[in-house]
Amino acid sequence: NSYTESPFVETALFLSKTGDVITKVNQTKTAIGYISLGSLNDTVKALTVEGVEATAANVTNGSYKLWRPFVIVTNNSVSLTAATVDFISYLQSTQAQTIVAENKYVNVTATAAYIAPVQAITGVIVVRGSTSVDPLMAELIADYLSIGGTKVSGIDFQVDAQGSSHGIAAAKEDTTGNVIGMSSSAIKSADAEVLNQFDIAKDAVAIVVNNANSISNITVQQLFDIYTGEITKFSQLG
């Protein structure tokens, strides 16, 4: 539809890190941005969209329309290391979904519980990608290490969150089978041909403005008009 076919206004500022978006909106009275609900704090103000608050419950019941998947990807042309296979088993587990819910994200289906390996596993797992997924991933890694105990304590996690595209590229370039990519958007069809993927959560996308801004609600059409340059002042929102 037209919402996906129209380009961003040329003056839009693109920031790859969630923390940078929060800082920019906090410091700029005329700014508007979007971030992960799980990263929302009181330094910025979240708007309702079409009168609906950004919450996990409202994504689940379908009333909040702005959400995205949190996707995990690996290279499908290499054999994954034992450590990577074990951690992915955890990421697809019921225990992982408990962490997802505790951090204000929306659960996806998981039917099996993670069971720690019988023999101890060692190795390096390289995690790259989305700054939005990163806080949740930190919680998941901590839970995995807690459940696995001494059986997985020899695994070294090397995490570097520089954006979804960085995670996709890292997974595509993996030749050793120990790279996990994080993306906060659906995988492009061309990339899907070379990547294995699964969702670990759904995330409500919070629309944020400076705390001094008087507006409290916005419509999807107004958001579209702001990001394509039709609306240039908050006073135009009525």
Phi, psi at 36, each rounded to 5°: -70, 140
- Structure confidence by residue, pLDDT tens digits, 61-112: 999 999 999 999 999 999 999 999 999 999 999 999 999 999 989 999 999 9
Q: What DSSP string runs through 178-231?
A: -EEEEESSPPPHHHHTTEEEEEEEEEEEEEEE-TT----EE-HHHHHHHHTTS-
Which one is predicted more confidently, 238 or 144?
144
171, 74 Cβ separation under 8 angstroms:
yes
**pLDDT bucket at 166, cuts 50 / 70 / 90:** very high
CA dist., res. 134 & res. 162, Å (int): 9
- Burial code (b: 16+ CB inside 10 Å, e: under 16) for 30-65 equals ebbbbbbbbbbeeebbbbebeebbbbbebbeeeebe
107, 205 Cβ separation under 8 angstroms:
no
- Structure confidence by residue, pLDDT tens digits, 44-57: 999 999 999 999 89
Least confident of 11-15, 160-164, 216-220: 11-15
- Structure confidence by residue, pLDDT tens digits, 29-47: 999 999 988 889 999 999 9
- pTM of the predicted model as reported, rounded to 2 decimal places: 0.82
Picking from 78, 68, 31, the residue whose alpha carbon sits closest to that of residue 206 is 68
> In the predicted model, is pLDDT for residue 1 greater than 60?
no
Picking from 128, 135, 129, the residue whose alpha carbon sits closest to that of residue 40 is 135
Which one is predicted more confidently, 104 or 200?
200
Mean pLDDT of 139-165: 97
185, 70 Cβ separation under 8 angstroms:
no
Which one is predicted more confidently, 143 or 16?
143
Residue with tokens 């839009």: 12
For the chain, what is the mean pLDDT? Answer: 94
Which one is predicted more confidently, 7 or 140?
140
Cα 183 to chain centroid, rounded: 6
Residue 90 is predicted with a pLDDT of: 98
CA dist., res. 154 & res. 156, Å (int): 6
